[in-house]
Amino acid sequence: MAFYRSIFLVLLSIIPLILADNLPIVLVTWKYPEATLKAYDELQTGNAVDAVEVGCNVCEDYPHLCRYSVGFGNKVDEEGEPTLDAMIMDGKTHDVGAVGGLRRVKRAITAARYVMDNTRHTLLVSDPATRFAIDFGNMVNESLKTDRSENNHRQWLNGSCQPNFWENVTPDPSTSCGPYTPLPKTNAESTAKLAKDDHDTIGIVVIDSDSDVAVGTSTNGLSYKIAGRVGDSPIVGSGSYADNDVGGASATGNGDIMMRFVPSYQAVENMRRGMSPADAAAEALSRIAYRYKDFGGAIIAANKQGEYGNVNSLDTLVI
């Protein structure tokens, strides 16, 4: 009998909901039940790739259902502009489509799918990606700003631009807004710590009833990121990774740190070597936690047998 498994994952707690014991399987980071159910419903008529896309669309269309961490109207860059990153990967073909720094288009995962299905590229970024989505994909050209996002940005400016992501600059970025000028690089250790609500992503892993694997991510990135910043979500092997011979994985957390370790790829390769999904995810995260003691992040993973695992950085053993 068909079913879904949804892992509602928070960096400080994990709440698994298991309704049955066979494929298909849908795993979603964070507590986004509407997105999970939409993805599962799509599997009744569509495939794993379709399910990933429509699941992410829920958060992109209705960001209040996803902690405002995905889609329009909340997180903006330093200049007050919302930008979106997304990626989708078909584990059967290893085709990938991704967009980074997308502006004025709500459904970033759909734009990424156009890249995957209709070009021989993997990643399009910034204004050209927006033009591609609008001109080729006939996607709606609309402002992603809302009263909420504009008010948040004003408060940030009035609060001396805190938090921000500058270092080795003057004036002191911990007390002042820019413009900044560079100082010599110091040996001080950079922090990897982020507030829970200053970032995050929807990551989806789907294995359909034909045992085909697909994964995807969509995000509006970090609050008050430096304009032009693209995180880990659209980077293959960092935000997500799928291989039809093995399974899939998706990551969430501090993307600037995570992309240095391609943890989703590592988790899938760990499963290929025989690790359980939970052990595979834990080993991949431990590589990051070893280098960055205050790192916060998590990985969900599933293999072709329908086994799944979910690990956050508080669960990993640093050796």
Catalytic residues: 201
Task: Please name the residue that has the structure tokens 């690990």.
Answer: 311
H/E element holding 21? none
HSE-up of 130 (CA within 13 Å, CB side)?
16
First-to-last CA distance in the chain?
Answer: 42
CA dihedral 188, 192, 198, 204 (to 10 degrees): 160
The gap from C-alpha 157 to its chain's centroid, in whole angstroms, comes to 26
Task: Please name the residue that has the structure tokens 């003057």.
Answer: 170
Sign of the CA dihedral with 20 first, then 59, 296, and 242 last: positive
